Amino acid sequence: MAVEGAMKCVKFLLFLFNFIFWLCGLALITLGILVQVAMHNSPVIQNASASSVPLVVIGIGVVIFFIAFFGCCGAWKESNCMLTMFSVLVGLIILTEIGAAISGYVFRAKLAVIVKDGLTESIIKYNNGTKEFRETVDKLQESLHCCGVNSSADWIRYRPDENSVPDSCCINVTVSCGIGTMHNPATVNQKGCQTAVEAVLKKNILWVVVAALVIAFLQVTGIIFACMLMRGIRSGYEVM
């Protein structure tokens, strides 16, 4: 009876962990969609490899979503075949995530270059860009309290006087506050946006790493419980 009770506990724990795993997959799909929309509307990150990151997250979320559902069914029906398939698929997902982690590390190393190139291109296109494009750049500078790439001097070609910046660079944003005040620290933020944008992105990457560790823990735990339940089924114990 002790073994029977233990196997019943394992069965329901496996079902519970797969349900949580299923929710994690759903969360990854939602996160990937939100990041994709944000990056699509951002003038800073237009790098092809960077833009593919949220699509990979969505793909992994979809796979996790269905594998977790598969695992829940296997646990509930006590199907040795389904549990075996679940363990193999989760193992493959873990290997894929290791590869994605390596790719993420490489992307992190290129982050400074990607941000710098994106900001530089935004400044070049600002005057001839659409209203929505200019508003996006202005919102970035205003929200992060920064100006230009490395400093406000990056806007030297903004106006013919070579001493003006967009109003979004101002400490207190008002109409025409950036005209003739490029190097005035009392009026214009002198700090460039590259450092600020990198700090925000690295903070978000940290949260992604934490989420990945939580999901990895659930995956390994799911495999352990699945193996325990399969062992119980093969041994002929009644787990219902």
Domain ranges of the chain: 2-112+203-234, 130-194
The whole-number pLDDT of residue 238 equals: 45
What is the number of alpha carbons within 13 Å of residue 175 lying toward its C-beta? 0
Instruction: Quote the tokens at residue 101.
Output: 């982690």
pLDDT in tens, the chain (240 residues): 334 566 777 777 777 877 887 887 887 788 777 766 655 555 555 554 555 666 777 787 888 888 887 777 777 777 778 888 888 888 887 777 777 667 766 766 677 888 888 899 899 999 998 888 899 899 999 999 999 999 999 999 999 999 999 999 999 999 999 999 999 999 999 999 998 888 877 776 667 667 777 777 777 877 887 888 788 777 764 444
Q: What is the pTM of this model?
A: 0.60
The whole-number pLDDT of residue 142 equals: 93
- The rounded distance, in Å, linking the Cα atoms of 238 and 233 is 7
- The rounded distance, in Å, linking the Cα atoms of 70 and 205 is 30
Largest CA distance in the chain: 87
- Give the 3-state DSSP-derived string for the chain, with helices as H, strands as E and coil as C: CHHHHHHHHHHHHHHHHHHHHHHHHHHHHHHHHHHHHHHHCCCCCCCHHHHCHHHHHHHHHHHHHHHHHHHHHHHHHCCHHHHHHHHHHHHHHHHHHHHHHHHHHHHHHCHHHHHHHHHHHHHHHCCCCCHHHHHHHHHHHHHHCCCCCCEHHHHCCCCCCCCCCCHHHECCCCCCCCCCCCCCCCCECCECHHHHHHHHHHHHHHHHHHHHHHHHHHHHHHHHHHHHHHHHHHCCCCCC
Architecture of domain 130-194 in CATH?
Answer: Orthogonal Bundle (1.10)
How far CA 58 is from CA of 21, 38, 114, in Å, comes to 15, 14, 22
- The rounded distance, in Å, linking the Cα atoms of 15 and 17 is 6
Q: Which residues contact 122 (CB under 8 A, 6 or more apart)?
A: 43, 44, 133, 137
The whole-number pLDDT of residue 53 equals: 61
Instruction: Quote the tokens at residue 33.
Output: 């969609």
The whole-number pLDDT of residue 2 equals: 39
The whole-number pLDDT of residue 165 equals: 96
The whole-number pLDDT of residue 1 equals: 39
